[in-house]
């Protein structure tokens, strides 16, 4: 008899975005003339940077025979991209990461989900609550059901510390989705010291690092002393450069990073991740990687920064407006997300904004128990829509 992987039946149903879509559709049906503004989903709205477009056009020509044709590429990513990443994202910032420690992928979601394959079924996992659900669901699918939740609350500034954390692997994400919280160097250093002392691992999701403008806030976990022996960093071009539809990201696995066999023998993780990727993944496309390479040119850097500044401008406008209306708001300064304390039930508040203001947000309860009482507002939208949404919120709240 064919048996299913019963772990799948233990994953919580992902009803959040389906439920939001259901409620929005019902509202639109009842009010066909309503102009609904979507500040719920975390997808970019601005077009790709001109440098990226030009590089991808050129790469299409390469593939069309006007330049060097490329078939299968290296599974770990082309050297031209890995070298630029190592230089611009790390070495130019004084961080000692080399190209061979970087593995390019088709986005951070896959890497966040797949990385757990390197570890034993019995490792203890810890995640924040509220949380980006991929960390939890992929571990549950693999049979790890007993996941420790680290509450992210107003009391701890939405940045839980390592005190009392008994896990072998902790997922940290800063700037955070959904809370928009950022972690200081001291807060991250405490986690690094904890991980090195416990022989534990930090999986650091830096998908939103490009939004950090405060020079005191680390953009990489490797800015902390000792992080190369206890942390993997996962990055995405989705929000950095509008690649949500193009699909590209990368994972850094330092050469010195190890986990252990049952007999205590250290096993380097970089060759394991390389083996995993070369076995199950055939590389991001040449055209995509040429586009990603263009992000690292001086023009590409400026263009991408301008786009992110634009989203941060949206975030600031909304944050200021909500604060003026008397709401406590976290995030939005170095992050595209606002985490708003709605002083009540998050689904009720969601419904109120949908019905009375035609504005879609995301109820915090959908990201975990500790998300109840909050909504997430995304700054990914046009300026006109953001301004219009603010006017509507002012009338309703």
From the list 106-114, 181-189, 351-359, 383-391, the region that binds ligand PLP by CB under 6 A is 106-114
Contact, 357 vs 287, CB < 8 A? Answer: no
Cross-strand partners of 363: 375
- Burial (CB count within 10 angstroms: exposed 0-12, middle 13-18, buried 19+), residue 263: exposed
- Count of Cβ atoms closer than 10 Å to residue 179 Cβ: 30
Query: In 66-210, at which residue ranges do the beta strands (DSSP E only) sit?
Result: 102-105, 125-129, 148-151, 169-173, 201-205
Please tell me whether residue 76 binds ligand PLP under the rule CB under 6 A: no
| Nearest Cα to Cα of residue 335 among 358, 361, 308 | 308
Q: What is the closest distance, in whole angstroms, from the C-beta atom of residue 131 to ligand PLP in the complex?
A: 9
The smaller minimum CB distance to ligand PLP, of residues 177 and 358, is found at 177
Contact, 252 vs 273, CB < 8 A? Answer: no
Number of residues that bind ligand PLP (CB under 6 A): 14
Please tell me whether residue 238 binds ligand PLP under the rule CB under 6 A: yes
Q: Rule CB under 6 A: choose which of 38, 82, 84, 109 binds ligand PLP.
A: 109
Cross-strand partners of 201: 169
Q: Rule CB under 6 A: choose which of 108, 118, 126, 322 binds ligand PLP.
A: 108
> DSSP for 36-50?
-EE-SS----SPPPH
Whether a cis peptide bond, with omega within 30° of 0, leads into 134 is no
The smaller minimum CB distance to ligand PLP, of residues 104 and 258, is found at 104
- Phi and psi dihedrals of 205, rounded to 5? -95, 110
Q: What is the closest distance, in whole angstroms, from the C-beta atom of residue 355 to ligand PLP in the complex?
A: 27
Please tell me whether residue 136 binds ligand PLP under the rule CB under 6 A: no
Residues 299-358 that bind ligand PLP (CB under 6 A): none
From the list 89-97, 108-116, 137-145, 179-187, the region that binds ligand PLP by CB under 6 A is 108-116
Please tell me whether residue 252 binds ligand PLP under the rule CB under 6 A: no
The smaller minimum CB distance to ligand PLP, of residues 41 and 225, is found at 41
| Nearest Cα to Cα of residue 252 among 291, 210, 195, 202 | 202
Please tell me whether residue 140 binds ligand PLP under the rule CB under 6 A: no
The residue with tokens 């049952």 is: 262
Q: Rule CB under 6 A: choose which of 249, 336, 364, 366 binds ligand PLP.
A: 249
Q: Rule CB under 6 A: choose which of 139, 177, 335, 346 binds ligand PLP.
A: 177
Please tell me whether residue 173 binds ligand PLP under the rule CB under 6 A: yes
Residues that bind ligand PLP (CB under 6 A): 42, 107-109, 112, 132, 173, 177, 205, 207, 236, 238, 244, 249
């Amino acid at each position: 008899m064919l048996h299913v992987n019963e772990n799948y039946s233990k994953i919580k149903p992902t009803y959040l975005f389906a439920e939001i879509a259901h409620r929005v559709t019902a509202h639109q049906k009842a009010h066909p003339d309503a102009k609904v503004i979507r500040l719920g989903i975390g997808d970019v709205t601005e077009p790709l940077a001109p440098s990226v477009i030009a590089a991808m056009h050129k790469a299409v020509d390469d593939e069309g025979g006007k330049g060097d044709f490329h078939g299968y590429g290296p599974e770990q990513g082309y050297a031209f991209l890995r070298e630029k990443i190592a230089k611009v994202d790390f070495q130019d910032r004084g961080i000692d990461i080399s190209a061979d420690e970087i593995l390019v992928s088709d986005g951070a979601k896959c890497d966040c989900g797949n990385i757990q394959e390197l570890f034993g079924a019995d490792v203890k996992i810890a995640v924040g609550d509220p949380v980006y659900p991929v960390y939890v669901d992929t571990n549950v699918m693999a049979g790890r059901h007993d996941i420790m939740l680290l509450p992210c609350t107003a009391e701890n500034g939405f940045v839980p510390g390592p005190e009392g954390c008994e896990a072998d692997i902790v997922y940290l994400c800063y700037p955070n989705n959904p809370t928009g919280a950022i972690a200081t160097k001291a807060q991250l250093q405490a986690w690094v010291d904890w991980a090195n002392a416990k022989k534990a691992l930090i999986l650091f999701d830096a998908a939103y690092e490009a939004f950090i403008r405060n020079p005191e806030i680390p953009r990489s976990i490797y800015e902390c002393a000792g992080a190369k022996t206890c942390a993997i960093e996962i990055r995405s071009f989705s929000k950095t450069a509008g690649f949500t539809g193009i699909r590209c990201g990368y994972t850094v696995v330092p050469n010195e990073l190890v986990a252990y066999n049952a007999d205590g023998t250290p096993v380097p993780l970089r060759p394991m991740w390389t083996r995993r990727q070369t076995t199950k993944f055939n590389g991001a496309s040449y055209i995509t990687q040429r586009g990603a390479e263009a992000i690292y040119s001086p023009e590409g850097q400026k263009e991408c920064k301008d786009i992110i500044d634009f989203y941060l401008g949206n975030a600031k406008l909304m944050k200021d407006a909500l604060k003026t209306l008397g709401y406590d708001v976290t995030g939005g300064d170095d992050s595209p997300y606002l985490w708003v304390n709605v002083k009540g039930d998050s689904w009720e508040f969601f419904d109120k904004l949908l019905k009375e203001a035609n504005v879609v947000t995301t109820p915090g309860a959908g990201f975990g128990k500790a998300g109840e009482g909050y909504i997430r507002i995304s700054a990914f939208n046009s300026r006109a829509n953001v301004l219009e949404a603010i006017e509507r919120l002012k009338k309703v709240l």
